[in-house]
A and B are shown apart, each in its own frame.
Chain A
Amino acid sequence: MTTEIATRPFTQYARAFRGLFLRDLHVLRREMFPFVIRICMNPLLFLFVFTYIMPHMSGGANLSPTAGMAGPGFSTVLLPGLMAVAIMFSGIAAVALPLAQEFGITREIDDRVMCPLPTGAVAIEKICFSAMQSMIAAIVVFPLAYYVPTQHPLFHVTSWPFLITVLVLASLTAGALGMTIGTSVKPQQIGLIFGVVVMPITFLGCVYYPWAALIHIRWLQIGVLVNPIVYMSEGLRAALTPALPHMNEAGILLMLIGFLALLTWLGVRGFLRRVIG
């Protein structure tokens, strides 16, 4: 049997890209259970404690962060916020952590780097595959964030195209962030990333409060603008819970595109530096 290998560059690249995507899909399918656990655990526990246990405790209203937001307020804030965290976290878990291993002892990325495809495209494939995982994560978190709270959040989609655009941009940005982190941190130090990067950008990412609520802490309100998670949560807030205060839609899209371009550039550059001597 002989196989005619495509000679036209575009066909060749497209097939190689498809091969890489199929490989990732195959591995993900085999690891479905840990994947779902990884996505669900954090938002499930968070919602359970803050929007289910707390409201049930006697005097809980005084202890809970929902104290200032009567009724379904806090769960409504959390719905887009936790989806943003799931998107961001998937980007780290799908790109940065595996890359640390693949660049580290095993060097198992080598065979994929040797694909008949420009090396930068191998990095782009990883970002795209990660974006797909991020979107699945956001879709899985949605019912949790809706059903777990004692008082269901109030959501209303005014523009589906805007929601989908935000979801896609946020997911790609998360993948690019994972690529930037995965290629710029030494494999041995990847564990530190959670403390040094993931935690701060989550807690300061307008996940648990709308950006507009920071008005009284002006320095923080301006400071968090360099955090890409802010635009993910605010974007989903604008798309899903427009009744709550949120940033301007066009500004959100612009900033997401800007961060996507910057992080993709940094990530691909880091990837090339790692694999080409």
Chain B
Amino acid sequence: MTAVDSIDLDVEAGEIYGLLGPNGAGKTTTISICTTRALPTAGTATIAGIDVVRNPSMARKHIGVVPQYNTLDRACTIFENIHFHCQYFGFSSTEATARTRQLLEQFHLTERSSAYPSELSGGLAQRVQIARAIAHRPSVLFLDEPSAGLDPQSRIAMWDAVKRLHEEGITVVLTTHYMEEADELCDRLAIIDHGRILVADTPTALKNSVGAETIYELDLRDDPKPLINRLAQMNGVANVECTGKLLRVLAHSSDGLLSEIVSSAQPFGLRDMRITQPTLETVFIRLTGRDLRE
């Protein structure tokens, strides 16, 4: 099975780049290849000018990874997890101690420094993993589904941590299927499905690509098909999409359009109506479809 098929990504230094896609789209495989944990059948990946396939041990100096699952060393405390990580990367014991203290402080973990990973909540463990991943000062930090399983508070704290790292100039590549996260954090993002990039741009440009400023969602009792053509011909309507009994009218701002739509929809048993702005989710669903994955 081909998990990733001819992906061509170019992430600029210092940006936050998002890989957005449904489950099984190939996001994690892409990250695994970039972080030397999977070998591609063809193609190259370079991090800070080093080929990760041909020279993985050199490339790892420039890579920090926060995987989906908690990989903290269960036999060591929080302090030791970061301290030994520094030593793996050539720090002397004194340097490792200083760097560990600094990171514990930065990530508000000092009080828990002697706790073992099994005693930590998901959000706290995630913070330790980020602190550990950047301990050797990598140029790129990879975050694979960083907010999976986190409560809203921990997610916001994680976002803040990532934003701070961004301000320090570190390049961040993250995978997610949370649209809000991608919108909030990423400078640019690529939507991936079936191992291919469907589209790559800034969140704003992607939202603009919908070609509409307003979306009217109509919930109708009757079959809405005859209504589609009528709505599509209205002034200001860019497109009309139909999913079952739900109609989505993509429109430009236009005076009087709302009442026109409502009066046209009345005979079809208009039960409910929502007015929204295009979001990344609109773009995502348009590109990847509504079918359930895995």
Contacts and interface: CB of A to CB of B under 8 A. Distances in A.
Q: Do A and B belong to a common assembly? A: yes
Contact of A23 (B65, B84, B98, B136): B84
A111 B75 contact: no
Contacts of A22: 84, 87
B56 A3 contact: no
B63 A114 contact: yes
Interface residues of B, number: 39
A18 B65 contact: no
A23 B89 CA distance: 13
A119 B137 CA distance: 21
Contact of A12 (B71, B72, B90, B102): B90
A5 B89 contact: yes
A58 B89 CA distance: 64
Of B37, B76, B85, B90, the most chain A CB neighbours within 10 A belong to B90
Size class of A's contact patch?
A: 35 or more
A111 B99 contact: no
Contacts of A114: 35-37, 60, 63, 65
Interface in B14-42: 29, 32, 35-39
Contact of A106 (B74, B88, B137): B74
Given A3-B137, A116-B60, A23 B87 contact: yes
B222 interface: no
Contacts of A111: 71-73, 81, 85, 88, 132
Nearest to A20: B88
B87 A12 contact: no
Nearest to A110: B71
B61 to A, nearest CB: 5
Given A114-B63, A277-B32, A5 B71 contact: no
Interface of A: 1, 3, 5-6, 9, 11-13, 15-16, 18-20, 22-23, 26-27, 30-31, 106-119, 275-277
Given A5-B90, A12-B90, A111-B132, 4 more contacts: A3-B90, A15-B90, A19-B89, A113-B37
15 contacts: A1-B99, A3-B90, A12-B58, A12-B90, A19-B88, A20-B88, A26-B76, A27-B75, A31-B75, A107-B67, A107-B71, A108-B74, A114-B35, A114-B36, A119-B56
Interface of B: 29, 32, 35-39, 56-58, 60-61, 63, 65, 67, 69-76, 80-81, 84-85, 87-91, 95, 98-99, 102, 132, 136-137
Q: Which 7 A-B pairs have the closest CB atoms?
A: A277-B38, A19-B87, A110-B71, A19-B88, A15-B90, A115-B88, A23-B84
